[in-house]
Amino acid sequence: MSNIVPVTEETFAQAGKILAVHLSYSSRAAQRGRTPKFPSYFMKATSSLAASGSTVERPAGTELLAFEGEIALIIGKAARRVSVEDAWSYVGQVTASNDLGVHDMKYADKGSNIRSKSGDGYTPVGPNALDASTLDPAKLRVQTWVNGQLAQDADTSELLFSLATIVADLSQQMTLQPGDIILTGTPAGSTVFFPGDVVEVEVTDLVSGASTGKLKTTAIEGTEAFAAFGNQPMVTDKDKEDAYGDRESAGMEPLITGKSVLTDKVREQLASVATATLSATLRKRGLNNVNIEVPGATKGMQRVIGTARTLRYIPNREDLFKAHGGGYNMQKQSIDSLKDGEILVMEARGETGSATLGDILALRSQQLGAAGIISDGGVRDLDAVSNLDIPVFYNGAHPAVLGRKHVAWDKDITVACGGVSVQPGDVIVADSDGIVVIPPAMVAEVAAEAAVTESNDEFIFAMVKRGHGIEGLFPMNAEWKAKYNAWKDAGSPDLDSWSL
């Protein structure tokens, strides 16, 4: 039997179901800004199958038809609860596929992908299939071209989950029948294409060089609009970003986040100024409620600068705690997801009658490189937490665990901590003198202005220390400003010895 066989109408007729993986390539996960711990899936209608050389319609009134070149697995024999070690033996053939979708209808699916991914012709497959028994699943390559220009190029060494893992995982809940097709995810490079564009996808065996041939699909403009009795196309900025792959490709301004604006220069400026100065600088810009009020700080005046991650606790209700409080709950998931330089900000409604953190989770945060933790609730194991390197800001100490007062409910949302609204990505500057929340879009100008103010204050403080009166100095009149500018022009020498 030849290693290469054509994909035919019989192939489509044998497909009882089409299963697709959401995120499986590390490059795609990096684009999305999230790396799943386990694979997740959606289904496509078998009526969406199409052969190489077919056309796909971009529905009238839509704009975000996107391609996703993928490796498709065709199941060869029934698989139920198979192991990862045995899973590949249940794959009969490997071919190329294009997981097409129209993102304008994504909102209406509520996660199902029925409208956005199951249109007629939205799953072209072929043109040929390779015998899976002759292949090493770790050495396959998928490439995609748009109008002859290479758009995607990756091999299966980049997979977050091996092809065998995907098959084994799906078989745990359903029987994979002969002919079923699994779309195994797409690498970075997927984007929008337009009527008249030709997309080609090819899967190659890196060992033998055998290929599926190029799967060709041409986009055409639809003439029929969606009927008024159903959901109409709608596009959000997030839809555009997902469809094009990133904001820049979609022609959108880049999102300003704390991580993008915390340059070395800005960090140096923020580290050099008092939190009181930052607060006053923000007040000049009309932001008066930016100071998180919690009294405890395990590291005193040690300065903490980072970007916010958030976690919200709701008041305990026994049935909710039973369902959501145990095991790998939202609190543990939130802490386990922390990255270098991030500060976990926890909303606990100011409730100090139960702890929101203990020494083990604080240690885990430290190991992951988190810059600090802020809670407007209680902390347990306070002595042990205080002895860790990670700074923790808290509202009080309490020995009780979560279930007495709290249920960890959701993460990475806007929260209220210590009377202040905090969004993921906000810049936090904290020490025992105060905790200041700075919107990312303002960070650079606030840091620069605060540094100037701090320099002014340093000069004024030194002059008062030398016995000068307040009048005309605080604030500085023209004479004192001239002296200050002369000091700055001289390179800001030591003020104790500098001659006026």
Per-residue pLDDT of 387-418, as tens digits, reads: 999 999 999 999 998 889 999 999 999 999 99
Q: What is the pLDDT of residue 448?
A: 94
Does residue 221 register a pLDDT over 60? yes
* DSSP strand pairing (181-183 vs 291-292): unpaired
User: Is residue 491 domain-resident?
Assistant: no
Q: What is the pLDDT of residue 495?
A: 83
Residue 410: how many CB atoms within 10 A of its CB?
Answer: 15
Q: Is there a single domain that holds both residue 349 and residue 231?
A: no
For position 21, which CATH number holds?
3.90.850.10
Q: Report which of 40, 3, 42, 39 is spatially closest to residue 19, judged by C-alpha positions.
A: 42
pLDDT classification of 493: cutoffs 50, 70, 90: confident
Q: What DSSP line would sit under 53-94, residue for residue?
A: TEEEEE-TT---EE--EEEEEEE-S-BSS--HHHHGGGEEEE
Per-residue pLDDT of 358-394, as tens digits, reads: 999 999 999 999 999 999 999 999 999 999 999 999 9
Residue 455: how many CB atoms within 10 A of its CB?
Answer: 16
Mean pLDDT over 435-441 rounds to 95
Q: Last residue of some domain: 405, 421, 438?
A: 438
Q: Is there a single domain that holds both residue 106 and residue 234?
A: yes
Mean pLDDT over 175-187 rounds to 98
pLDDT classification of 497: cutoffs 50, 70, 90: confident
User: Is residue 311 domain-resident?
Assistant: yes
* Position 470, amino acid: I
- What is the C-alpha separation between 72 and 125, in angstroms, rounded? 8
Q: Report which of 424, 419, 456 is spatially closest to residue 435, judged by C-alpha positions.
A: 419
Per-residue pLDDT of 119-133, as tens digits, reads: 999 999 999 999 999
Give, in order, the Cα–Cα distances in Å from 134 to each of 2, 137, 146, 176, 205: 10, 9, 30, 21, 9
- Which helix (H) or strand (E) is 333 found in, with range? helix 330-336
- What is the C-alpha separation between 53 and 97, in angstroms, rounded? 12
User: Is residue 401 domain-resident?
Assistant: yes
Q: Is there a single domain that holds both residue 180 and residue 301?
A: no
User: Is residue 411 domain-resident?
Assistant: yes
Is-contact 170 176, C-beta < 8 A? Answer: yes
Q: Is there a single domain that holds both residue 215 and residue 307?
A: no
Mean pLDDT over 236-256 rounds to 86
Share of residues in the chain with pLDDT > 70 (%):
100
Does residue 299 register a pLDDT over 50? yes
Q: What is the pLDDT of residue 2?
A: 67
User: Is residue 492 domain-resident?
Assistant: no
Share of residues in the chain with pLDDT > 90 (%):
85
Give, in order, the Cα–Cα distances in Å from 38 to each of 78, 161, 244, 331, 411: 23, 8, 25, 19, 19
User: Is residue 457 domain-resident?
Assistant: no
Q: Which residues contact 400 (CB under 8 A, 6 or more apart)?
A: 353, 354, 355, 378, 380
Does residue 1 register a pLDDT over 50? no
* pTM for this entry: 0.68
Q: Last residue of some domain: 244, 259, 277?
A: 244
Does residue 454 register a pLDDT over 70? yes
**Domain of residue 225, residue span:** 4-244
Does residue 258 register a pLDDT over 80? no
Q: What is the dihedral of CA 219, 225, 229, 230, to 10 degrees?
A: 20
Q: Is there a single domain that holds both residue 189 and residue 43?
A: yes
- What is the C-alpha separation between 162 and 184, in angstroms, rounded? 9
For position 373, which CATH number holds?
3.50.30.40
- What is the C-alpha separation between 307 and 257, in angstroms, rounded? 8
Q: Is there a single domain that holds both residue 204 and residue 302?
A: no
Domain count for the chain, please give it.
Answer: 2
Does residue 457 register a pLDDT over 50? yes
User: Is residue 389 domain-resident?
Assistant: yes
Q: Is there a single domain that holds both residue 237 and residue 316?
A: no
Question: Is pLDDT larger for residue 374 or for residue 488?
Answer: 374
pLDDT averaged over the chain?
94
Q: Is there a single domain that holds both residue 199 and residue 299?
A: no
Per-residue pLDDT of 34-63, as tens digits, reads: 889 999 999 999 999 999 999 999 999 999
Is-contact 141 155, C-beta < 8 A? Answer: yes
Q: Is there a single domain that holds both residue 47 and residue 125?
A: yes
Q: Is there a single domain that holds both residue 148 and residue 9?
A: yes
Q: Is there a single domain that holds both residue 101 and residue 187?
A: yes
Residue 73: CA atoms inside 13 Å, Cβ hemisphere, count?
29
